[in-house]
């Protein structure tokens, strides 16, 4: 099982665990390495104790994700995801809600490449019960801040299946631009599927952050 390059598609459609929040939030635990927070949500790394909640949410959301993405829907798959999350070229981030510390979804930065590229791929999915409530729009801003201000990456690429209008809108709204089309690019649900390539560069993110008054420091 790998969700390192899960299609961006599932993210804009609608996922839960107790975790760490941002310092200064009354009654909340201290932040983890990427315990960024904004509005209603915060990010944190997955933990072994998340397994039951995460797997139950992904299993219940399986029809909702099809055909856009696959995600861990059993204990073995979650354990493999946890192993992936500890690799130096992989950043796994759970999206959690301050209100009840529920896991709403996840974002992954995979194939993180240093040297002359300084790039990564973005993948994500959201639980069906949390879809269309703006949580992932808030969370993607935290992810980009972590990628560009924290990890000092230069380019983030997201691959989205044509016709997945919600995910395209999410990417475009976060400042991604369409760069091209890749036929039969990723195998999802047992089939090789076409994808559009959407990307954002650090200078584009910085300009957008300045325009919107978003933080740009680590």
Q: What is the pLDDT of residue 36?
A: 62
* Lateral strand order in the sheet of 41-44: 37-38, 41-44, 91-97, 103-113, 119-126, 155-160, 191-201, 177-188
18 located within any domain: no
Q: What is the pLDDT of residue 34?
A: 54
Q: What is the pLDDT of residue 38?
A: 65
150 located within any domain: yes
Q: Low-confidence residues of the chain, pLDDT below 50?
A: 1-33
Q: What is the pLDDT of residue 30?
A: 36
Q: What is the pLDDT of residues 141-160, one digit of tens each?
A: 999 999 999 999 999 999 99
5 located within any domain: no
Which residue in this structure is represented by tokens 């801003």?
141
25 located within any domain: no
**Which structural domain, as residue segments, surrounds residue 66?**
32-212
218 located within any domain: no
Question: H or E element: which one contains 56?
Answer: helix 51-60
CATH number of the domain where residue 130 is located:
3.40.630.30
The phi-psi region of residue 181 (left if phi > 0; otherwise alpha if psi is between -120 and 50; otherwise beta) is beta
Q: What is the pLDDT of residue 126?
A: 93
10 located within any domain: no
Count of structural domains within the chain: 1
133 located within any domain: yes
Q: What is the pLDDT of residue 22?
A: 29
Q: What is the pLDDT of residue 207?
A: 96
What is the bridge-based pairing of β-strands 177-188 and 91-97?
unpaired
Phi, psi torsion values for 43, nearest 5 degrees: -110, 145
Are the C-beta atoms of 108 and 123 separated by less than 8 Å? yes
Q: Which residues of 66-100 are buried (b: 16+ CB within 10 A; e: fewer)?
A: ebbbbbbbeeebbeebbebbeeeebbbbbbbbbee
6 located within any domain: no
pTM above 0.85, yes or no: no
């Amino acid at each position: 099982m790998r969700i390192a390059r899960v299609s961006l598609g599932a993210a804009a459609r609608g996922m839960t665990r107790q975790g760490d929040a941002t310092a200064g939030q009354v009654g909340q635990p201290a932040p983890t390495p990427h315990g960024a927070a904004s509005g209603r949500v915060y990010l944190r790394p997955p933990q072994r104790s998340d397994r039951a909640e995460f797997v139950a949410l992904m299993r219940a959301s399986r029809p909702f994700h099809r055909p856009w993405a696959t995600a861990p829907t059993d204990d073995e798959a979650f354990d493999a995801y946890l192993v992936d999350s500890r690799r130096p070229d992989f950043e796994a981030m759970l999206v959690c809600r301050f209100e009840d510390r529920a896991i709403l979804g996840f974002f992954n930065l995979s194939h993180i490449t240093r040297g002359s590229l300084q790039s990564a791929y973005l993948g994500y999915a959201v639980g069906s019960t949390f879809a269309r409530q703006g949580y992932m729009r808030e969370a993607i801003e935290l992810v980009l801040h972590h990628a560009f201000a924290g990890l000092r990456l230069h380019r983030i690429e997201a691959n989205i299946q044509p016709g997945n209008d919600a995910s395209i809108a999410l990417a475009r709204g976060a400042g991604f631009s369409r760069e091209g089309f890749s036929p039969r690019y990723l195998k999802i649900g047992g089939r090789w599927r076409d994808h559009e390539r959407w990307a954002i560069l650090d200078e584009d993110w910085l300009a957008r952050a300045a325009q919107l008054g978003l933080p740009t420091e680590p």
